[in-house]
Structure 1
Amino acid sequence: MRLPGTRYQEPGWEQVRKLLGQASVQMLRTLAPHELQDPALLDRYVDETGALLHACRHTARAAAAGNSYGDSVGELALSLLYELPVQPAFWQAFLATLETELARSGAFWQQPAGEGMLRKKVNDLYAGLRDRIDADGYMVATGRSCTPNRIYTYRMLDTAYGEIAALFADWQAHSAQVGAILGRELQGIPIEVRQMKSIAGCKADWVIAWSATLEQFSGAAGPLHTRSKRFASLKNSPDKIAAMLAEIGEYEQLSANQDSAETFRSDAGEAGIWLEDYWRVLHASEQYEQDGGDSGPDQLLMAEAGEYESEADGAAVPDSEQAAEAGAEADRVDLHAAWAEPDETTRMLEQQRASAVSLPPGYLSLARLAQHAGSRMLGILAQESLPIRLAVYHKLLGVADDSYPDVWLDPATGELPTLQQLAALDGISMPTLRKRRNEAIDKLYAARPSGAA
């Protein structure tokens, strides 16, 4: 679930909770009972637990995504830990539960069987703290009042929507419960199954009915129908439920671009493709002028579309589709070498060279596939090896550019391989690499339209 200003309400919270529990148990199980009264215990806990979290920052759990805003599980765990001194009431409540259990069962946290109980109390500590922090963040982001209980309610409604969506998706196996939620006997696939595309399309009446059906179909009372007073008034306020569902859905839609890398992938090569198109238009403009046409940009664009007629004799410009087809055929011939896969022996040699310079074994094969098919630069340098072409980019655009495909980059640095690595990939010396790179750049300059920068 996403809400403005919140960071801990998404599925990554489960891993944050486990990481905090793991580090906290490791620190707390060494405490002597009398140390619970030490005023400096909170500072000691934060320091030692923070050091444990920092030490495991490279583990798979800590490095995993904690939310859709780019925070890792380890980062979220550390930031929540460091909120404790700012919200000491949560720590005092935690110590009170330890002392209560100490009076009843002794120093349970020092016993192997007591680790589960200690972990449960740590989980309760951070569950309350995260809702307090997210409620404060929500108020700052929206200017509306919010409490930890309201955050809890948002989360309950989001969970309810997930359960209802799962029932709707498998409605044939749960036809009786789905019928009870919709308030009618099902006759074929219900239209609501196709209509509810997101939480914004979930109706408050369905949530209330779903909660009412849980005791019958699962044996446990639904969240709106328990004896707890937390949601007692909510089941009689469908308008409040509807407003909260709509708010969750609206913000999820606004922030949905963070779920997909497609937008960033499409933007990544935009600058490079734009330059290629610019170069192509300059070249076409020069050629059009040499053929006696008007060099105006509007006329050039119309000519490319096959719609412009020369004012001199009224003759139509030759069919652009035929010209494009001929050019594409020439490109296929010129570019064949750029994509040609090497034989098995060469491929194994390439893998060995890549591994020797700390690159993935399949680096060259993947890098070839990522070449932009419409690139004019690739057409000019098709006969050069891939490491030479990358060295040209290295020289002209630098080691890091948004237009580079990810597979061109060294995973260790996030940049193009160094010239030393490229030379090793090509099986040549550094002086030879520089010589061939400079010759390739000279080819590019020689191929540019006259007068072009």
Structure 2
Amino acid sequence: MRLPGTRYQEPGWEEVRKLLGQCSLAALRACGCTRLLDPAAADETLPDYVELTGERLRQARHTPRARAAGNAYGDTVLELALALLYELQARPGDWHAFVAALRAEAARIDAFRVDAGGEALLRKKVNDMYAVLRDKVDADNYQAACGRPCSPNRMYAYRMLDTAYGEIARLFAGWEQHRAQVGAILGRELHGSPIEVRQLRSIADCRADWVLRWSESLEAFAGSVGPLHTRSKRFASLKGSPDKIAAMLAEIGDYEALSSNRDRDWLQDRDDAALWVEDYWRILQASEDAATPGPDLILEAREDALDAELAAEAEPEPGPLPAHDPQLEVLAAAVSLPPGYLQAAGEGEDRSGWLARELAADGLVLRLAVYAKLLGPGDDSYPDAWRDPATGELPTMQQLAGLAQVSLPTLRKRRDAAIARLQAATMRRRG
């Protein structure tokens, strides 16, 4: 059964319950029975239990049970078990009720925790605790998803109706073997194949009066009182209320139909795309088969034109490296740079790059100023020869102005003009 916001109402719950029970028994034994039954230690034992159970769940994460699908939304059994375990820590009232139930059993059966029967009873108490908790969690999530009120008891009623539909569908499928009970459910004697058997395709087709009669028929055909005919107050709001039952059945059916179609759109898109690709390759193959033998003269002419354009736009060769000049060493020393800085920086420059070719006529100092403006003074791409040993970064604009033997405003003006030329060249390249 699927409803908006619910995660624990599908058949995968059985595996979640078993995994939680298995890990909980080991965790409870580690907690210690004496401490567990101490009323004053209930708040202290809950964090220990959650931590120990969580460890054992994670240890079992590679087992087939933990990796199995827990619901139709893609959650695994392990994910659902961990989520419910941590919900328990956020709802200590359920833990206190569990501990109280254990104390009651301990008072009734002294050895219930030790012998084999006691372990089975302990597992049952754990299962009961998580069964109540899952309905609370799903009821809260249902309210958040729909904005309609929903109690844990109502969530249990939804599940009972889903179970009732499953039983009715099973009886209808084998109506010949269950002729008397199917007749009791339909409210008439059967003289042939009932049309309702073919009409019942989903829970949305199930009728409220069938559910009521099915519950009534259980005492005669199964030897037990039906859920809508017991003295329990759990389903008191549904007894004699076919309208409520019909509305709940319709809600379950509508959401199951909606959620079962959640992948249909993209699956159709996938099929359409596959057909489109097949048509594309078929058309290409047909075009190649129908092509005129021989070289493609139009394509060759176009390639020749492109080659001519590229040759006309050939980039100028980068200029020669700066020669050794004692005057440059003096300039470098004057601005606190090591002797031979410009010679080493020129040798360390990759002059085959597009930017270096565009600014080849402007000199190394201006190129360094442009790099510092565009990339920052400490970019990791700079070679070590460009960096000032004192700072580990490019020289400052004041130092570069001293190397170029111009004023600082003049160098800034030339730098900005060079950047403008680069931007214009970039726009031309992009067309």
SS in structure 1 opposite 2:37? Answer: helix
CA RMSD of aligned residues (A): 2.3
What is the distance in 2 between the residues matched to 1:214 and 1:131? 26
State the match for 1:20 in structure 2: 20
Q: Distance in 2 between matches of 1:272 and 1:216?
A: 57
The equivalent of 2:281 in structure 1 is: 279
How much has 1:105 moved relative to structure 2?
Answer: 2.2
Percent of aligned pairs sharing the same letter:
63
CA contact 1:135–1:151 (8 Å) conserved in 2:
yes
Give the gaps of 5 or more residues in structure 1: 292-453
Aligned counterpart, 2:170: 166
Shift of 1:65: 1.0
- TM-score normalised by structure 2 residue count: 0.63
Between stretches 152-161 and 101-110, larger displacement belongs to 101-110
Q: Is the 8 A contact 1:29 1:110 kept in 2?
A: no
- TM-score, normalised to structure 1's length? 0.60
- Equivalent position of 1:32 in the other structure: 33
Deviations 1:372-424 (A, max 9, x none): xxxxxxxxxxxxxxxxxxxxxxxxxxxxxxxxxxxxxxxxxxxxxxxxxxxxx
Shift of 1:101: 1.6
Deviations 1:208-252 (A, max 9, x none): 001011101111000000111111331211000000000000001
CA 1:238/1:35 → structure 2, altered by over 3 Å: closer, same or farther? Answer: closer
> SS at the partner of 1:219?
coil
Aligned to 1:92: 96
Q: How many residues end up aligned between the 2 structures?
A: 289
Cα distance, 1:58 vs. partner? Answer: 1.1
Q: 1:121 aligns with which of 122, 125, 140?
A: 125
Aligned equivalent of 2:151, options 138, 141, 147: 147
Query: 2:246, 2:274 → 1: CA distance?
Result: 47
Q: Give secondary structure in 1 for the equivalent of 2:227.
A: coil
Is residue 7 of structure 2 the alignment partner of residue 3 of structure 1? no
Flag the 1:58–1:216 CA change in 2: closer, same or farther, 3 A.
same
| Aligned-partner residue type, residue 33 of structure 2 | A
Shifted more, 167-176 versus 249-258: the winner is 249-258
Structure 1 partner of 2:420: none
The amino acid across from 1:240 in the alignment is: K
Aligned to 1:437: none
Structure ID, larger Rg = 2
Q: Hey, which bits of structure 1, 4+ residues long, moved more than 6 A?
A: 262-266, 286-291
Contact 1:28/1:109, CA 8 A, preserved across alignment:
no
Distance in 1, matches of 2:168 and 2:103, equals: 41
Q: Give the aligned residue type for 1:19.
A: L
2:248 to 233, 244, 253: 244
2:161 counterpart of 1:138 = no
Output the CA distance in 1 between the equivalents of 2:79 and 2:248: 29
The one-letter amino acid of 1:36's match is L
1:227 to 227, 231, 243: 231
After superposition, the Cα gap between the structure-2 partners of 1:202 and 1:108, relative to the gap in structure 1 and judged at 3 Å, is same
Per the alignment, in what secondary structure is the counterpart of residue 228 of structure 2?
A: coil
Contact 2:181/2:217 (<8 A) preserved: yes
Q: C-alpha displacement at 1:35, in angstroms?
A: 3.9
Matches within 5 A, 1:49-128: 49-106=53-110, 108-128=112-132
Kept in 2: contact 1:29–1:109 (CA 8 A): no
The one-letter amino acid paired with 1:229 is: K
Structure 1 contact 225–232 (Cα < 8 Å) conserved: no
Q: Does structure 2 retain, via aligned residues, the 8 Å contact 1:4–1:142?
A: yes
Matching of residues 38-437 of structure 1 within 5 Å: 38=41, 39-106=43-110, 108-257=112-261, 271=273, 273-282=275-284, 284=286
Would you say the 8 A contact 2:36–2:99 is kept in 1?
no
8 Å CA contact 1:7–1:67 kept in 2: the answer is yes
C-alpha displacement of 1:274: 2.8
The letter of the residue matching 1:67 is N
